[in-house]
Amino acid sequence: MEEECLVQVEENKQVIFRGFIEGTPKETDLQVVVGKKIELKAPPKGSGAFLVKNLYLSCDPYMRGRMRDFHDSYLPPFLPGQPLQGFGVSKVVNSDNPNFKPGDFISGITGWEEYSLIRTTELSRKIKPNDIPLSYHVGLLGMPGFTAYAGFYEVCSPKKGESVLVSAASGAVGQLVGQLAKLHGCYVVGSCGSSQKVDLLRNKLGFDEAFNYKEEPDLGAALKRYFPQGIDIYFDNVGGDMLDAALVNMKIHGRIAVCGMVSEKNLSDPQGIRNVYNLITKRIRMQGFLQSDYIHLFPRFLEHVISYYKQGKIVYIEDMNEGLESAPSAFVGLFLGENVGKQVIRVAHE
């Protein structure tokens, strides 16, 4: 009895998924609640589980796909009435797993809550202490950064001197794609949704050119202006009208890496593209991909990107929201273009 009294008990604030949606996510689709109190004690012997305190959570567009009652995808839908799940950085509080000890910092899939019990550890990775911010392990050194790395080098097959278009270029993935392309010796243009982001791309992230697609009445003409000789590589994060315009402006043997479709606000009623005939006449290779297809390259990615970062050859922009209470607005803001850089929620201080 005396030992039980020593177990620390904490409230566990959570972000609950209220139910399947159509169209653009709204703040009311999520609910911040104080869940059941949680005992900060070791998981049962033999479970291999560990208890973590969540420090940073990642807001990512792919999560929109898990908010519909659709099971024919690479990830299952969220469970209504349960906390959202996503990538995060956490600190181990207690553990029945010899690979993850109390005090360890880890990145991986966790719940949108203050404390989570991690039972499936395949995607959990211990963070080696260094002078890089912990939050970067859900951005630059996490899934978005690796998506940029794998998509650009493995899918786009870039060559020095080629012309590269990146859409959603100031976001979590696009900002690194553009910088990697510059380091590779490419000419790089980014599209984004505000004059603030245009300035960021040109003056902080080192893009050759950038434009606000909302100010362009004719996207095809805009791309012709920035790529008079055509586009070799289009790294597509948005789909829709930008993809259609890019198809018309691609060079022969151009490559399109299809990373995201954030323009498709209603995934159950997708919009078609009109200019696919260009795939034939220009012999364009257009390929969708998941970063998990290339996970064997992750150690090499970390080595290269950490080296670039420490040498000051790349920078990374975060949009940090404070507290779980801010999570619904932060997530919804992704689909309204409100975030500047990688959207992160700080749940607790280190």
Q: Label the pairing between strands 125-126 and 105-111.
A: antiparallel
Over range 140-151, report the average pLDDT.
Answer: 96
Q: How confident is the model at residue 264 (pLDDT cuts 50, 70, 90)?
A: confident
Under 8 Å CB-to-CB from 63, ≥6 apart: which residues? Answer: 78, 84, 86, 331
Q: What was the pLDDT predicted at 10? A: 86
Q: What was the pLDDT predicted at 6? A: 63
Over range 273-292, report the average pLDDT.
Answer: 95
Q: What was the pLDDT predicted at 2? A: 42
pLDDT at residue 102 greater than cutoff 80: yes
Over range 102-112, report the average pLDDT.
Answer: 95
Q: What percent of the chain has pLDDT over 90?
A: 78
Cα distances (angstroms) measured from residue 111 to each of 14, 86, 88, 107, 324: 8, 6, 8, 12, 11
pLDDT at residue 267 greater than cutoff 70: no
pLDDT at residue 269 greater than cutoff 80: no
| Exposure class string for 147-176: b at 16+ Cβ within 10 A, else e | bbbbbbbebbebeeebbbbbbbbbbbbbbb
Which comes out higher in pLDDT, residue 11 or 286? 286
Which comes out higher in pLDDT, residue 37 or 276? 276
Q: HEC states along 202-263? A: HHCCCCCEEEEHHHCCCHHHHHHHHCCCCEEEEEECCCHHHHHHHHHHEEEEEEEEECCCCC
Q: What was the pLDDT predicted at 1? A: 39
Mean pLDDT of the chain: 92
pTM: 0.91
Q: What was the pLDDT predicted at 186? A: 98
Q: For residues 9 and 21, give the distance between their C-alpha atoms in angstroms, rounded to a whole number.
A: 35
CA 327 to chain centre: 15
Over range 264-284, report the average pLDDT.
Answer: 83
Under 8 Å CB-to-CB from 304, ≥6 apart: which residues? Answer: 149
Over range 310-335, report the average pLDDT.
Answer: 95
Q: How many CB atoms lie within 10 A of CB 121?
A: 16
Q: What was the pLDDT predicted at 320? A: 96
Crossing angle between the packed helical segments 174-183 and 298-310, to the nearest 10 degrees: 80
Over range 319-330, report the average pLDDT.
Answer: 96
pLDDT tens sequence across 165-174: 999 999 999 9
pLDDT tens sequence across 231-251: 999 999 999 999 999 999 999
Considering only 23-32, 51-60, 132-141, 267-276, which range has the smallest mean pLDDT? 267-276
